[in-house]
Amino acid sequence: MDNYYVGLMSGTSLDAIDGALIRIGDSGGLEVISMLSTEFPEHIPSQLRNLISGKTESIHALCSLDTELGEIYAKVTLDLLSKSAYKPHDIKAIGCHGQTIRHQSGHKNPYSLQIGNPSVIAEMTGITTVADFRARDIAAGGQGAPLVPAFHRAVFSDPENARIIVNIGGISNITVLPRLKSHNAVSGYDTGPGNCLLDAWSTSCRGHRYDENGNWSASGAVNSRLLDSLLNDGYFSKSSPKSTGTEYFNLDWLETSYPDVTELRAEDVQATLAELTAHTIALHIIREGFDNNEVYLCGGGVHNKDLTERIYHHLPKAKLFTTEKLGLDPDYVEATAFAWLAWCTMEKQTGNLPAVTGAHHPVILGGIYPA
């Protein structure tokens, strides 16, 4: 029997909510039926930014935004269904990642907080909602991240060829998929900044939320002193498992790493930041010994031509594609992953990879909020 699931994802870029409606067969075969990306209402990103940066510590602000985001996620779901002429009762469950406000997996009392109230989503849509995916992995001693490698393994692995999946969102993360026949473990972690510094510098210097196609960075020249200073950061040489966020890689980090940055030509800084993202993605792939293999890109960064050309330049021996080649739209891999993770939860199957998150054992992820 076919089952239908909706996945909802909004990441660190705070650009939009991505929704994917998928069909999963009993054996796990998956088909994406419909996709929809909806920008946040204008007042939301700044409120989220204040909570994420710690500028706002108000419990009222947090909880009220939790409810409002739940309503927005519900509306995106209903829009996605009406676009594809499916009804709420056709859908087994929604997998909602939620918006990360804080991720403190290394803390003495570790936690990861995503908001977007799942009770509100279940009530407004009439669809069972699975949320809070990271908490159980953390309770089992894991980092609660990354969770998508299990999905990458399920849909992108190949019996004969090792593959690398690179997601370029606000932060960049890679999944290393050894060829299935080798029985080697999958690994996955954040490589550092994706689009976050490019977006932040573009917003601050030009008022453009992002650098369309990387045209602005392509007009500048890489400043090697700036690049060397940024590459000196300890995160890049740290071994995995490791994860990071925009609370670390932001304009304060840039200015602390290179106090004279505002004296450089703005387009040269943008070129250097694009080079930093490309260089650090490639660096980790080379370190893994997989620079001779197939590399598949996804996430919003695939639309930045200057950035993808730089990655290409650093990985001349790799076969570079987007996930389109494997049948998944690169803008919806993460949303599809959370639909799949909700399927795992509803089927009582484990969804974490202990070798990736560091958990003591595999666990069933998420809380279920019945329709």
Ligand X SMILES: Nc1ncnc2c1ncn2[C@@H]1O[C@H](COP(=O)(O)OP(=O)(O)OP(=O)(O)O)[C@@H](O)[C@H]1O
CA 123 to chain centre: 27
- Residue in 77, 70, 79, 90 with CA at minimum distance from that of residue 23: 90
Helix (H, G, I), strand (E, B) or coil at 70: helix
| Binds 195: which of Mg ion, ligand X, none (CB < 5-8 Å by kind) | ligand X
Binder of ligand X out of 49, 75, 102, 303 (CB under 6 A)? 303
> Residue 350, exposed/middle/buried by CB under 10 A (0-12, 13-18, 19+)?
middle
Distance of alpha carbon 207 from alpha carbon 225, whole angstroms:
26
Q: What are the structure tokens assigned to 40, written together?
A: 């946040």
Fill in the per-residue mask, 1 to 30: x = in contact with Mg ion (CB under 5 A), - = not in contact.
----------x-x-x---------------
Q: Which is nearer to ligand X, 88 or 245 (CB)?
A: 245
Helix (H, G, I), strand (E, B) or coil at 91: strand
190 binds ligand X (CB under 6 A): no
334 binds ligand X (CB under 6 A): yes
2 binds ligand X (CB under 6 A): no
Binder of ligand X out of 4, 6, 7, 12 (CB under 6 A)? 12
We find the least distance from the C-beta atom of residue 350 to ligand X, in angstroms, to be 22
Q: What are the structure tokens assigned to 36, written together?
A: 């929809």
95 binds Mg ion (CB under 5 A): no
| Binds 213: which of Mg ion, ligand X, none (CB < 5-8 Å by kind) | ligand X
291 binds Mg ion (CB under 5 A): no
Annotate 13-64 with DSSP letters as a single string.
Answer: T-SEEEEEEEEE-TT--EEEEEEEEEEPPTTHHHHHHHHHHTS---HHHHHH
199 binds Mg ion (CB under 5 A): no
| Number of residues lying near Mg ion (CB under 5 A) | 3
- Residues near ligand X (CB under 6 A): 9, 11-13, 15, 167, 169-170, 195, 198-199, 210-214, 299-301, 303-304, 334
- Residues near Mg ion (CB under 5 A): 11, 13, 15
